[in-house]
Amino acid sequence: MKDILQQLDDRRADARLGGGQKRIDAQHGRGKLTARERVHLLLDEGSFEEFDMFVTHRCTDFGMEEQKPAGDGVVTGWGTINGRLVYVFSQDFTVLGGSVSATHAKKICKIMDMAIQNGAPIIGINDSGGARIQEGVDSLAGYGDIFQRNIEASGVVPQISVIMGPCAGGAVYSPAMTDFIFMVKDSSYMFVTGPDVVKTVTNEQVTAEELGGASTHTKKSSVADAAFENDVEALAEVRRLVDFLPSNNREKPPVRPFFDDPDRIEPSLDTLVPENANTPYDMKELILKLADEGDFYEIQEEFAKNIITGFIRIEGRSVGVVANQPMVLAGVLDIESARKAARFVRFCDAFEIPILSLVDVPGFLPGVSQEYGGVIKHGAKLLYAYGEATVPMVTLITRKAYGGAYVVMASKHLKSDFNYAWPTSEIAVMGAKGATEIIHRADLNDPEKIAEHAANYEDRFANPFVAAERGFIDEVIQPRSTRKRIARAFASLRNKKTNVPWKKHDNIPL
């Protein structure tokens, strides 16, 4: 008996060594942790239960029968994050470059199936040379099976990808279909075709980092949601994110203990909006002052900064925040900001996370490049996402809400439940100057008359009361009591139920 137990220990120790000490040292030498070290940092201490530690590939081509490392290049299993169940796979670059064989893919599919069945998030740590070259089409089939499960899991359990090494070719499409992608600066990259192929086909010369590094994907392409300095920071931030999310689409997000009075009055908000309507102010200040303990988890912080998206808690409960940022492009809506916010709104709606919209928007960005780029379709994404959302929605207009952007930004007309406005709000088709120049074109050469018309227009429309008279704004509130009003509004919506007519699925303008 003792021998058998010893044998098990030995086999486990061998499996845990992955591709051997030399390759582990090389991994560390690049500033990267090993697959198992990452899993242990991600999960609560001692909670990891590994599956399929002894699985090996069955390939016999190219001498592969001589090389059968236990686990086949991916560590899979389950554990907990702050006590809540999650499923994990972590590719082991020290074993055949973390390349994906048929059995490697089967291991990933197994835990994805379990996550869907048991209603828990899937977290995938990617560090792989791609399809196992020796296995050919068997490897491609494995990817296909993973993709299909990504699609089935979408909207059922949260899926999070962490890119901690290479992720290239068709392999990028699994993370691309998950809800969030995190990258590590300087040690991870993602691209469909690498620098060599790009050079051959288009004659463009770029490094892997320039083509698909963390900075590119968080600032330019918006493929990734955040970039972190190293593996440790990235994994700690995944843990923080998971705390905001429900385990699946049938559960509510967890309620955390809170130490911040929901009735907290914030007198400084009375002066947040400057006297001059064209002076910017930082919308993040408002978000931080509304959130429990000032805790804000921003998503896509580096992309389309004219709109802010992320999670806060109010009374310990997760709330998704979408906010125009007057500090960047005056908070205008454009192709990038509409796409960014639409995807965030849809995530919140799929996972029963209430949405708070903070509005200060001068309209949609004019321009040839915007029109050629399809701002009509992309703007419609945000409009559509809000309009189809059935989660509790509270909207606050702080200053401008002009034109189509007023309607798009979670207005009453899109079934938002509570629409509040500060006394500084201006809800109108457009700003006073533009409006006057159109409706009083005949007086354009008379600056005095134009100024008079503009002042009249401002008196009439640059306030929240016209909309409030029509019930489009439920209440004009004091800035200082905003947290209290919003907390009470969300509390009243906890049992919200809506009926949506049957359809197979919608046809959001993609």
- Choosing from 20, 31, 136, 170, the catalytic residue is 170
Shortest spacing between CB 470 and ligand HXC, in angstroms: 53
Stretch binding ligand HXC (CB under 6 A), from 161-169, 222-230, 308-316, 415-423? 161-169
Using DSSP's 3-state secondary structure scheme, residue 125 falls into strand
Chain positions 14 to 53 lying near ligand HXC, rule: CB under 6 A, are 23
Residue labelled with tokens 């457009």: 430
Residue 55 phi/psi, 5-degree rounding, is -65, 135
Q: What region, left, alpha or beta, does residue 310 occupy, with left being phi > 0 and alpha being psi -120 to 50 degrees? A: left
- Single out the residue of 17, 113, 119, 169 in contact with ligand HXC (rule: CB under 6 A): 169
- Pick the catalytic residue from 155, 169, 194, 434: 169
Question: Least separation, in Å, of the C-beta of 41 and ligand HXC?
Answer: 22
Residue 320 annotated as catalytic? no
The Cα 53–Cα 15 span in angstroms is 7
Q: Give the pairing type, strands 159-163 and 180-184.
A: parallel
Nearer to ligand HXC, 184 or 333 (CB): 184
When the beta carbons of 54 and 62 are compared against ligand HXC, the nearer one is 62
Query: Is 124 part of the annotated catalytic residue set?
Result: no
Q: Whole-number minimum distance, CB 398 to ligand HXC, in Å?
A: 46
For CA atoms 50, 52, 56, 59, give the dihedral sign.
Answer: negative
Q: Which residue from 276, 275, 284, 293 is spatially nearest to 321, judged by alpha carbons?
A: 284
Return the number of the residue (167 or 489) whose C-beta is nearest ligand HXC: 167
**192 vs 380 by CB, closer to ligand HXC:** 192
Length of the chain: 510
Q: What angle do CA 387, 390, 395 make, to 5 degrees?
A: 65
Instruction: Identify residues 440-479 at the interface with ligand HXC (CB under 6 A).
Output: none
Please indicate whether residue 170 is annotated as part of the active site. yes
Question: Residue 227 carries which side chain, given as an amino acid letter?
Answer: A
User: Of residues 144, 194, 316, 404, which has the active-site annotation?
Assistant: 404
How many residues bind ligand HXC (CB under 6 A)? The answer is: 16
Where would I find the H helices in 257-311?
283-290
Torsion sign over Cα 166, 124, 239, 308 = positive
Q: Count other Cβ atoms within 10 Å, centred on residue 447.
A: 9
Residue 36 or 132 having the CB closest to ligand HXC: 132
Q: Is 119 helix (H, G, I), strand (E, B) or coil?
A: coil
CB 479 within 8 A of CB 270: yes
3-state secondary structure of 237: helix
Residue number with CB closer to ligand HXC (96 or 115): 96
Beta strands in 64-110 (DSSP E): 74-81, 84-91
Does position 166 bind ligand HXC by CB under 6 A? yes
**CB neighbours (10 Å) of residue 80?**
17
Q: What is the DSSP letter of 245?
A: S
Known catalytic membership, residue 129 = no
Question: Of the two residues 99 and 370, which places its CB atom closer to ligand HXC in the complex?
Answer: 99
Quick one: 133 or 429, whose CB is closer to ligand HXC?
A: 133
| 108-116, 132-140, 300-308, 358-366 -> range binding ligand HXC (CB under 6 A) | 132-140
C-alpha to C-alpha distance for 18 and 36, rounded to whole angstroms: 9
Binding residues among 92-131 for ligand HXC as defined by CB under 6 A: 96-97, 99, 129-131
Pairing of strands 307-314, 297-299: antiparallel
Determine the residue type at 44.
D
Q: Which CB atom, from 121 or from 175, has the smaller least distance to ligand HXC?
A: 175
Site for ligand HXC in 170-189 (CB under 6 A): 170-171
Interior angle at CA 184, CA 181 and CA 188, nearest 5: 90
Q: Which one is catalytic: 405, 432, 435, 467?
A: 405
The closest of 325, 392, 319 to 362, measured between CA atoms, is 325
SS3 letters across 37-71: HHHHHHCCCCCCEEECCCCCCCCCHHHHHHCCCCC
**278 exposure class (CB count in 10 Å sphere: 0-12, 13-18, 19+):** exposed
Active site residues: 169-170, 404-405
Residue ranges binding ligand HXC (CB under 6 A) = 23, 96-97, 99, 129-133, 140, 143, 166, 168-171
